């Protein structure tokens, strides 16, 4: 049987772990997201959400659920939210702080709730005696 010296064991273990360490580092370090990427994804999430609200406004207008003036007003408010999100991200080097992110999403949700109310698709609360369409939240 062959005897291994501590130096040989160290070199063998180092050579065995190098490829695994490089693969781990290039993958972003496992399950932990890159904080910079996570911050940048907030702006993307806001823009995607705003795109969905804009699509819903267009669909509601085409389906005659809302009038042209209401569609313009909701579209204008959505555009304002987008400009705010882009400005906040620009002021913070492409990142969107959590507080601003929540505020912007809340504003988009309010626009979406207004659209639901205007189209008669609001969430019914109560026994229906007073028609019960109120924004949920």
Q: Is 136 exposed, middle or buried (0-12, 13-18, 19+ CB in 10 A)?
A: exposed
Asked if 134 and 120 touch (Cβ cutoff 8 Å), the reply is no
Secondary structure (3-state) at 97: coil
Q: Which of the residue ranges 17-21, 66-70, 125-129 has the most confident prediction, judged by mean pLDDT? A: 66-70
- Token pair recorded at residue 58: 């267009």
Query: Does the pTM exceed 0.75?
Result: no
Q: Determine the Cα–Cα distance for residues 8 and 59; give it in Å rounded to an integer.
A: 70
Query: Over the stretch 3-58, which tens digit does the pLDDT of each residue have?
Result: 656 666 656 665 555 555 554 455 454 444 444 444 468 899 999 999 999 999 99
């Amino acid at each position: 049987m062959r005897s291994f010296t501590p130096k040989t064991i160290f070199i063998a273990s180092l050579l065995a772990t190098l490829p695994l360490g490089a693969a781990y580092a290039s993958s972003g370090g496992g399950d932990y997201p890159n904080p910079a990427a996570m911050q940048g994804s907030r702006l993307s999430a806001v823009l995607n959400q705003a795109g969905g609200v804009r699509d819903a406004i267009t669909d509601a207008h085409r389906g005659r659920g809302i009038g042209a003036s209401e569609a313009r007003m909701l579209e204008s408010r959505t555009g304002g939210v987008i400009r705010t999100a882009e400005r906040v991200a620009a002021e913070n080097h492409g990142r969107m702080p959590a507080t601003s992110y929540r505020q912007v999403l809340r504003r988009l949700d309010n626009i979406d709730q207004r659209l639901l109310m205007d189209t008669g698709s609001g969430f019914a609360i109560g026994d229906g005696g007073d028609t019960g369409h109120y924004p949920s939240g």
